[in-house]
Each structure stands twice: as structure tokens, then as C-alpha cells.
Amino acid sequence: MTFLIAALSLAIWVYCVFFRGGYWHARVNGDEPAPTPEAWPHIVAVIPARNEAETIADCVTSLLIQDYPGRFSIVLVDDNSDDATAAIAAGLPERTGSPVPLTVLKGAPLPDGWTGKLWALQQGIAAAERESPDYLLLTDADIVYAPGMLRSLAARAASGRYVLTSLMAKLRCETLAERAFIPAFVYFFQMLYPFAWVNDPRHRVAAAAGGCMLVRTAALARAGGIGVIRNALIDDCTLARVMKAQGPIWLGLTDRVRSIRASTGISEIHTMVSRSAYAQLRYSPLLLALTLIGMAVTYWAPPLLTFAGAGGVRLLALAAWALMAVSFWPMLRFYGLSPLWAPLLPAIATGYMAFTCSSALQHMSGRGGRWKGRYQAKRA
């Protein structure tokens, strides 16, 4: 039996490393130049913000100072914040001396059937559409753009005629908790949604990174607007599936778009993951059980059988563990971490298994989808 488990684990890692779209290379392709368009498209950035006083100034300022040659404006929707988010944002054009128009909207109360972020986006998009933009930049309030990134995004979207162009922002990775869990978060995301498959129009896999999504306005309207995903907790990948039905999409990795949201301890990362982990499993106890069994075979079996096995079992398990560590190394390098973290992926995966179980328990108790003081996952 142990031989079969070791062989299965090795087969899983051979498949992942050699036959799953090269997800683990962590190739930084979001910064590659694209051909300059004949005419720069009109873009409106829409920022949903709820209690983001700590990050909103950096986020909005990074957009206000973009040297974009086309028409560009910003709509920020204050989603019923009880801090100074709206006031801070409203004062930034004068503080920066930027000519970019900024509109700060007070969000309406959240209606039934919507998540908070998507309701805020709905209101911001409605305001933006009065300008008839070519594209909507849907971006989070903790995202900071390096100079020139709006040009780069627009050029890539125009050159590829993409209906959705998204960049996986480089997440903050400074505290011990962040170093332990953040690179693995992006690694697991790429394992679920290999970017090469996402970017292939012939492949059904669709995904996006919700912090930075440039959406063609006409294509979104054809799809039915943001309201078609109004109650989605995993809104970025749900939107990507909708948009891929309208045309080609593109997702890349970059270190020039960053998230500055801090996770000082494991509790913040637990909140981020557990908010939507059970939704990823379609709220199915059966899928939860199968996922935990699959993760145990994939991540626990190699180190356990390396130390507890013998002969061929040990060799198979060690080969699986080696492939696992090698595949994690490029993501660690992207985040500037030591390769000594690579063999620890089984322990890190255990943490994510715990977060997923917690997500299921929260949902079963009627407290699922917790984010910004709201419980947004409705029990069936």
C-alpha cells in the first residue's frame, strides 16, 4: 500500500512539473513591452474601497501620477466606510497636482444578493460608463502601480485585442507569516489556473487576479455587466470565465504592480484564504473530503514516506519531494526568499488545509465569506 501511495504521489508531481502548463516557472511576463497602439484607448479606473484609510492614498496616488497619453479618469466608490477613506482620496488630486479627474462616490447600502465589492463595482461602473470609456480598470484599494504600468496594460490589451487583461500583483511579503504563506498562495493559484492555459483561447481554463483587471467595456456589456456575477465570492475568476466566452483573455505575473495590504500574522492570512476557500469547492462536503485526501497524498506522503519508508518506497517519495521543492523554488526566488523554504511546502500546505477546513466550518455556521465586517456566503 505504501508503495502505491508513493508511486501515486510521484506521478502527481511528474504531471504537475512536466504537463501542467509550466505554471511553476513563475515567469514575470507582465512587464514585457507590447506594441504601441495607433490610438491610446480611453480608460476609467474603478476602485471599490471599504475602510481602506491605510492604503488608499498610495493606491490612488499611483494612478493619479501615471503618465498615460490617452484619456484617463478615476472613480472611487466609498463602500460605507466608517474611517477616513473617502476624505483622504478626495484630497489627493490637489495634493499631487494631478490633472487626472477623480470622482469619489458614496456607495448605496448593500442590497440582498450582492457581495460588497461587486455592488461597489456596479455603482462605479455605472458612473464610469457615462464617459463611454473603451476599457475599465477594475482595481483594489491596496494596489500600487509603478510608473508606466497603465501604458503597458493598455498596450497589451490593445495589441492582443483582449477583452480582459489582468496582472497578478506582487503581494507584500515582509513578516514571518507573509514569508511562510504568501509565495505559496500565488504558487497554488498558478497550479489551479496555469497562466499559459488561461491565455490560450482554445483552453477552457479561465482566471484573473482581482487586484488589477483591465476589461473591455463593450465586451462586459455583451456579457450582461458585472451583475451577472453579483454574488460571487471568487469574483475575479468568475468574471474571467464570463469574459473568456466573449473573447481572448490574458493573465500575467508582474513585480511592478504591488499589493501593500499587510498580513502581520497568520490570522490575517487565514481570513483572506478562508473567505473563499469553501466557495472554490462549491460548498460541497464531498469535494472538501476529496480535496483533503488529495492534498495529503500530494504534500504529506513524500516527506512522511521519505523518513518512514524503505527501499523503493523511500526513493519514490524522495523523488516526489524533490520535484515539489524544485517547482516551488522559482516562486520563492520571485519573492526574494531563500530556497531553504522549498522543502517546507508540505508544512505550508498543511496550513492551507486548515484554512480550508475553517472556511467550511464558517460557512456551515452561517458566518462564511467574512470580509470587512460582512458575512457574504449565504447558506443553501
> Which residues, in sequence order, are CB contacts of 338 under 8 Å at separation 6+?
332
Are residues 247 and 275 both part of a single domain? Answer: no
Q: For residue 75, give the C-alpha cell.
A: 472613480
Residues 141 and 237 in one domain: yes
Please, which residues have CB within 8 angstroms of residue 191's CB and are 6 or more apart in sequence? 16, 20, 23, 24
Closest to 338 measured CA to CA, from 183, 208, 211, 222: 183
pLDDT at position 369: 67
How far is Cα 364 from Cα 268, in angstroms, rounded to an integer? Answer: 21
Asked if residue 174 and residue 37 are part of one domain, the reply reads yes
Q: Which three cell numbers stand for residue 203?
A: 483552453
Residues 329, 295, single domain; the answer is: yes
Domain ends where: 265, 291, 311?
A: 265
Whole-number pLDDT of residue 367: 78
Q: Which three cell numbers stand for residue 319?
A: 523523488
Q: List per-residue pLDDT tens for the chain, 380 residues long.
A: 899 999 999 999 999 999 999 999 999 998 888 999 999 999 999 999 999 999 999 999 999 999 999 999 999 999 999 999 999 999 999 999 999 999 999 999 999 999 999 999 999 999 999 999 999 999 999 999 999 999 999 999 999 999 999 999 999 999 999 999 999 999 999 999 999 999 999 999 999 999 999 999 999 999 999 999 999 999 999 999 999 999 999 999 999 999 999 998 999 999 999 999 999 999 999 999 999 999 999 999 999 999 999 999 999 999 999 999 999 999 999 999 999 999 999 999 999 999 999 999 998 888 766 676 777 765 54
3 state DSSP class of 97: coil
Number of domains in the chain: 2
- Secondary structure of residue 288 in the 3-state scheme: helix
- Chain centre to alpha carbon of residue 16: 21
Is the same domain home to 366 and 227?
Answer: no
- DSSP 8-state assignment for residue 111: P
Residue 206: CATH number of its domain: 3.90.550.10
Q: Does 305 lie in the same domain as 200?
A: no
**Residue-wise burial string across 127-144, b where 16 or more C-beta atoms lie within 10 A, e elsewhere:** bbbeeebbbbbbbbbbbb
Task: Centre a 10 Å sphere on the Cβ of residue 14 and count the other Cβ atoms it contains.
Answer: 13
For residues 256 and 274, state if they share a domain. Answer: no
Residues with Cβ within 8 Å of 308's Cβ and at least 6 positions away in sequence, in order, are none
Q: What is the pLDDT of residue 82?
A: 94
Provide the residue range defining the domain that includes 284.
Answer: 2-23+270-377
The Cα–Cα gap between 135 and 243 comes to 13
The answer on 342 and 274 residing in a single domain is yes
Tell me what pLDDT residue 380 has.
46
Residues 60 and 207 in one domain: yes
Residues 358 and 245 in one domain: no
Tell me how far apart the alpha carbons of residues 275 and 269 are, in angstroms, rounded to a whole number.
10
Distance of CA 8 to the CA centre of its chain: 30
Say what the pTM is.
Answer: 0.95
Mark which of 207, 242, 265 sits at the end of a domain.
Answer: 265
Give the pLDDT confidence score for residue 31 in this predicted structure: 85
Domain limit, last residue, from 239, 265, 291: 265
- Kindly state whether residues 217 and 74 are assigned to the same domain: yes
Residues 128 and 226 occupy one common structural domain: yes
* C-beta of residue 333 within 8 angstroms of C-beta of residue 186: no
